[in-house]
């Protein structure tokens, strides 16, 4: 049995998904053109802080909260017509999550290069 490494999965995902810079994400967020989604674990948010105006959807619940057929669907939490812009701590989990959303059928999906590590040194406000 051969298994793919996590790095291989991330590399494959990066070839299929849209990656945006912190500047592009700030522009989209400021112009109300996206759902800015933080997929980090709740302990990471408590320890590091949150990006102002971002929505927290833990990575483990992302597919369920965005699936209208799921009992965990969060009706009205997101504007399903806007781009889903995901971020994690460094950009690896968000790349995999963005690919999963694309696999689910979401067309307007991207992730932020460098994740929270880069966001905290950008124009975004940390709360």
For the chain, domains (ranges, CATH) are 6-119 (3.40.250.10)
pLDDT tens series, the chain, 127 aa: 899 999 999 999 999 999 999 999 999 999 999 999 999 999 999 999 999 999 999 999 999 999 999 999 998 889 989 999 999 999 999 999 999 999 999 999 999 999 999 999 999 999 9
> What angle do helix axes 6-16 and 92-104 make, rounded to 10 degrees?
60
Apex 84 CA angle, 77 and 104, nearest 5: 95
pTM of the model: 0.95
């Amino acid at each position: 049995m051969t298994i793919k490494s996590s790095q291989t999965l991330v590399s494959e995902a990066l070839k299929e998904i849209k990656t945006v810079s912190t500047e592009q994400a700030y522009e989209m967020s400021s112009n109300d053109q996206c759902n800015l989604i933080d997929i980090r674990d709740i302990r990471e948010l408590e320890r590091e802080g949150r990006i102002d105006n971002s929505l927290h959807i833990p990575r483990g619940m992302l597919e369920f909260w965005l699936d209208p057929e799921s009992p965990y669907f969060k009706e009205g939490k997101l504007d399903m017509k806007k781009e889903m812009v995901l971020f994690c701590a460094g950009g690896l989990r968000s790349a995999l999550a963005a690919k999963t959303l694309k696999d689910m059928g979401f067309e307007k999906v991207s992730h932020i290069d460098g994740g929270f590590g880069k966001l905290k040194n950008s124009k975004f406000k940390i709360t």
